[in-house]
Amino acid sequence: MSKEGLIVAKELKRLQSDPFRLDRFMRSHVSRLLKSDLVSVLVELQRQGQIFLSMKLYDVVRKEIWYRPDMFFYRDMLMMLASNKKVDEAKQVWADLKSEEVLFDQHTFGDLVRAFLDNGLTSEAMDIYDEMRQSPDPPISLPFRVILKGLIPYPELREKVKDDFLELFPGMIVYDPPEDLFEDQDWRRDSDDD
């Protein structure tokens, strides 16, 4: 990131509580940034978990003349929103990518489903899983395995995905953790208390 990009990122964070000054700064300084700096500032704000400012820059990037719909741009936004449990913003970004007809590959779908699962957003994760199943991209086994591992705490959902996996890949084996895996941990805690 250039010096100007660093200054803009710092100033955006300083002004975020003052909507009028922030809007004026966005028009006067952010709009002047070069493509590489604008994207770098967005990535830095995502890394810091600055949801409000990331969404502001996300909108700015999408209006730029050089902007082209990109799978990785949307993936990064959705991963950041999932890790911060921002469902409404994630739905907005998902609607935008659908309107721009962005297609994810199977690996990206698997990563997104797992990110939402790992952050306790199971309903949204399963919505993305349903999108994955409808994708024209041919299914591959690795994303399913990633999803199945993330679904261990959710046995009913895991069985649904497992059935889909075995239907798509009939000769493959799915690792199932022992039924008493978590009971064993309870037993150890009880014996430690004694």
Mean pLDDT, the chain, rounded, equals: 84
96 and 176 fall within a common domain: yes
Last residue of a domain, one of 67, 84, 102: 67
Q: List, for residues 64-91, the tens digit of each pLDDT value.
A: 888 898 899 999 999 999 999 989 999 9
80 and 168 fall within a common domain: yes
Domain that holds residue 49: 1-67
34 and 90 fall within a common domain: no
63 and 76 fall within a common domain: no
- The string of DSSP letters for 27-90 reads HHTGGGS-HHHHHHHHHHHHHTT-HHHHHHHHHHHHHSTT----HHHHHHHHHHHHHTT-HHHH
**CB-CB contact of 25 with 11 (8 Å):** yes
Phi/psi-derived region of residue 121, left when phi > 0, alpha when psi is between -120 and 50, beta in every other case? beta
Q: Which of 3-7, 12-16, 98-102, 104-108 has the least mean pLDDT?
A: 3-7
127 and 164 fall within a common domain: yes
pTM metric for this prediction: 0.79
Total domains present in the chain = 2
User: 1: domain CATH number?
Assistant: 1.25.40.10
Q: What's the CA gap between 13 and 162, in Å, rounded?
A: 44
15 and 60 fall within a common domain: yes
Q: Which of 35-49, 50-64, 134-148, 167-181 has the least mean pLDDT?
A: 167-181
Last residue of a domain, one of 16, 50, 67: 67
Q: List, for residues 20-42, the tens digit of each pLDDT value.
A: 888 888 888 787 778 888 888 88
Q: List, for residues 110-133, the tens digit of each pLDDT value.
A: 899 889 988 888 889 899 989 988
Q: List, for residues 44-67, the tens digit of each pLDDT value.
A: 888 888 889 889 888 888 888 888
Which two tokens mark 108?
């990206």
pLDDT at 191 over 70: no
Which two tokens mark 1?
């990131």
Last residue of a domain, one of 67, 87, 111: 67
103 and 38 fall within a common domain: no
